[in-house]
Amino acid sequence: MIDDVIDFFEPYTYLIIGSVKAFVIAGALLGIVPALVWLERRLMGRFQVRLGPNRVGPFGLGQPISDSIKLLFKESIIQSSADKFLFHLAPAIVVFTAIVTFAVIPFGEPVKVFGQEIGLWVANVNIGLLFVFAISGMGVYGMVLAGLSSNNKYSLMGGLRSSAQMISYELTLGLAALSIVVLTGSLSLIDMVNSQDSYPNILIQPLAFLLFFIAGIAETNRAPFDLPEAEQELVAGFHTEYTGMKFAMFFMGEYINMVTMSALVTLLFLGGWNSYGVPAWPIVAFSGKVLFLLCVFIWLRSTYPRIRYDRLMTFGWKVLVPISLLNLLVTSVLVVL
């Protein structure tokens, strides 16, 4: 009987492995969020010459757990004028797209377990980069719908701002990434990493790296580009009316997007899991680079003030887009020559 079952499942091994990987990575991403919140609060504290959370557990490590419990048990308030269905849907879209985007991010060379080769990624699609852009672009809907359904002018303003900002900076993001696609000749993220085995792309494409990183910060709605939730003008932007776990889901989306963006920068520009002579496991090299970039994200937040909204759009359209177009043109010409 057991032999029969094993025989039946033999051709579907890859399906089972795939599902297990999907569960593990989704779980890991959700688990990373509290850790990142802790890291951000501790680092922000240090940057601002104060202590940060240090009461719950050693180094305040219990703080994210107590925060999560608080958020889970908070009363969920929905004002009567809201569109109930969209109000519930919006945070789900944000978290869902954030997790699905990570599906195509590879974080190491394939490893052999019990004679079965397992790639350290959920899906190896040959349009990897396009998939990331497609799904992360859908994340905007979460914010727009949150703004629309809340029936609150501050929420609406926040939703509109976020969509305008993300559409504008997606262009720069795509164009900067395209120069790497031109260099590599492939849309697959694994091919990109493999092409950087002697030197990372940042050395030959420093401008593209800068553009990609700036646009990436704007895409994840992080300071200094966190206009959709500017406290002084918009109360809290698109999530003004949200409470409890639904409120937290927006932040889960934001932090997961941060991880994805750092991973993308690592894969495209910093050589992925290549460690360039430093003795480290591929996965350790990869996570180290991602962690460093996450710290840079937090560092930027505590360094720069928020820029004004019209300046943000001017900067995006009149500075970043032309530079990235020029960069792409020069890169393509150089590659053809």
Binding residues for another protein (CB under 8 A): 4, 8, 11-12, 83, 86, 125-127, 130-131, 133-135, 137-138, 140-141, 144-145, 147-148, 156, 159-160, 163-164, 167, 170, 187-188
When the beta carbons of 159 and 272 are compared against another protein, the nearer one is 159
In angstroms, give the least distance from the CB of 191 to another protein: 10
In angstroms, give the least distance from the CB of 137 to another protein: 3
182, 335 Cβ separation under 8 angstroms: yes
When the beta carbons of 12 and 292 are compared against another protein, the nearer one is 12
259, 32 Cβ separation under 8 angstroms: yes
In angstroms, give the least distance from the CB of 37 to another protein: 29
In angstroms, give the least distance from the CB of 322 to another protein: 15
Q: How many CB atoms lie within 10 A of CB 231?
A: 10
Closest CA to 146 of 57, 56, 80, 239: 239
When the beta carbons of 4 and 75 are compared against another protein, the nearer one is 4
When the beta carbons of 163 and 194 are compared against another protein, the nearer one is 163
169, 316 Cβ separation under 8 angstroms: yes
In angstroms, give the least distance from the CB of 287 to another protein: 27
SS (H, E, C) 68-122: HHHHHHCCCCCCCCCCHHHHHHHHHHHHHHHHHHHHHCCCCCCEEECCEEECCCC
In angstroms, give the least distance from the CB of 77 to another protein: 22
Long-range own/partner contacts, residues 109-113 (CB < 8 A, 24 or more apart) = 109/273, 109/282
When the beta carbons of 118 and 130 are compared against another protein, the nearer one is 130
In angstroms, give the least distance from the CB of 328 to another protein: 15
As a whole number of angstroms, the distance between CA 192 and CA 41 comes to 34
When the beta carbons of 127 and 295 are compared against another protein, the nearer one is 127
When the beta carbons of 144 and 293 are compared against another protein, the nearer one is 144
Q: Which stretches within the chain are classed as H helix?
A: 2-9, 13-47, 63-73, 84-101, 128-149, 153-184, 189-195, 206-219, 231-234, 244-268, 282-303, 309-314, 321-336
